[in-house]
Amino acid sequence: MTTTTTPLTLTAAGKRAATRNGLRRGLIEFRHQWTNRDDVLGQVIWLVLILVTLFFLRGIHLPGTSFSLGAATVPSVLGAGLVFNGLSGAAGQLVIDREDGTLLRTKATPNGMLGYLIGKITSLSLMQVSAMLVTLVPCLILFPGLASDSVWSWLNLLWVLALGLVATLPLGAAIGSLIRDPRSMALVMLPVTGLAAISGIFYPITALPVWVQDIAQVFPMYWLGLGMRSALLPDSAVVVEISQSWRPWWTLGVLAVWAVIGLALAPVLLRRMARRESGSSVAERRERALQRV
């Protein structure tokens, strides 16, 4: 007696295979990033710059408290790093893979785009977590007052980190699918840098005009910084926050809204971008690049 496999079974099996391949691909990319000299050097330089800045802020106190401004800046930097790396990392890698033909080759394999997306999410998430740990561990030594609530601090940090990844990586992928020229990545970095300036990263946001505070609260960077501060700082540091509250439900709600927006936009824009990819489009981009050189 013979049995036949239905298309539905084939599709389910293909998705499972794509998921396995994507996870494997993500782990390989993650390992390569930490064995690549340029990537490691970039991480080291960034870490040194952050630690030097925090070291010089250690003797300054938050207004109205005896808590170090340097220690209060640590969680804000971690939250801003999630946004910077989530948006620019996902967008930048997508643009590079499109330019060198990786996306075209991926598109030609069964369930290739699904495996590609899972691989990118895996590698970028692991890079985000590892970069955070590389920054946080020295800061815990430099500022003993961080994470004073031990278990609760780490649990709080985990949910903010998880939601932050979901709120930023899909947005980065959506933005990357819209960028046609690698040189246009500056159009992503400039507004993100502007948000960092108004989101209370290096100084309490309450020192800024109210209308600037309102703008900052629309975007995820402020809420990621606030969520990180609520996890790692003592309760006494809340006096410099808006309404003198950590506002956990607001943090959850705003980040969830941005996650929904990113998850809704990314698949649509990525499918549209994949449909437009062809051998001629890759060759045309390479020809333009050669002409610029």
Count of structural domains within the chain = 1
Closest CA to 273 of 102, 53, 60: 102
For position 8, what pLDDT does the model report?
38
Share of the chain above pLDDT 70, in %: 90
Asked whether residue 8 is domain-assigned, the answer is no
Asked whether residue 1 is domain-assigned, the answer is no
Q: Which domain holds residue 99?
A: 14-292
Q: Using one digit for the tens of pLDDT, what is the confidence trace for 63-89?
A: 777 778 888 889 988 998 898 888 888
Of the pLDDT bands very low, low, confident and very high (cuts 50, 70, 90), residue 32 is confident
Asked whether residue 21 is domain-assigned, the answer is yes
Q: Contact at 8 Å (CB) between 145 and 67?
A: yes
Mean pLDDT to the nearest integer, 153-164: 92
Mean pLDDT to the nearest integer, 58-67: 77
For position 6, what pLDDT does the model report?
38
Closest CA to 58 of 74, 47, 46: 74
Of the pLDDT bands very low, low, confident and very high (cuts 50, 70, 90), residue 160 is very high
Spatial neighbors of 8 by CB under 8 A, at least 6 apart, are: none
Between 62 and 174, residue with greater pLDDT: 174
For position 220, what pLDDT does the model report?
93
Asked whether residue 279 is domain-assigned, the answer is yes
Of the pLDDT bands very low, low, confident and very high (cuts 50, 70, 90), residue 2 is very low
Instruction: Compute the distance between CA of residue 287 and CA of residue 293 in angstroms, rounded to an integer.
Output: 10
Average predicted confidence (pLDDT) for the chain: 83
Q: Contact at 8 Å (CB) between 182 and 63?
A: no
Asked whether residue 5 is domain-assigned, the answer is no
For position 163, what pLDDT does the model report?
94
Asked whether residue 239 is domain-assigned, the answer is yes
Q: Contact at 8 Å (CB) between 251 and 158?
A: no
Q: Contact at 8 Å (CB) between 218 and 210?
A: no
Residue type at 127?
Answer: M
Q: Is the pLDDT of residue 204 over 80?
A: yes
Q: Using one digit for the tens of pLDDT, what is the confidence trace for 220-277?
A: 999 999 999 999 998 888 888 999 999 999 999 999 999 999 989 888 888 788 777 6
* Angstrom distances, CA of residue 234 to CA of 72, 76, 166, 172, 208: 9, 14, 26, 32, 23
Between 134 and 285, residue with greater pLDDT: 134
Q: How far is CA 210 from the centre of its chain?
A: 27
Asked whether residue 50 is domain-assigned, the answer is yes
Q: Contact at 8 Å (CB) between 68 and 61?
A: yes
Mean pLDDT to the nearest integer, 139-151: 82
Asked whether residue 3 is domain-assigned, the answer is no
For position 291, what pLDDT does the model report?
58
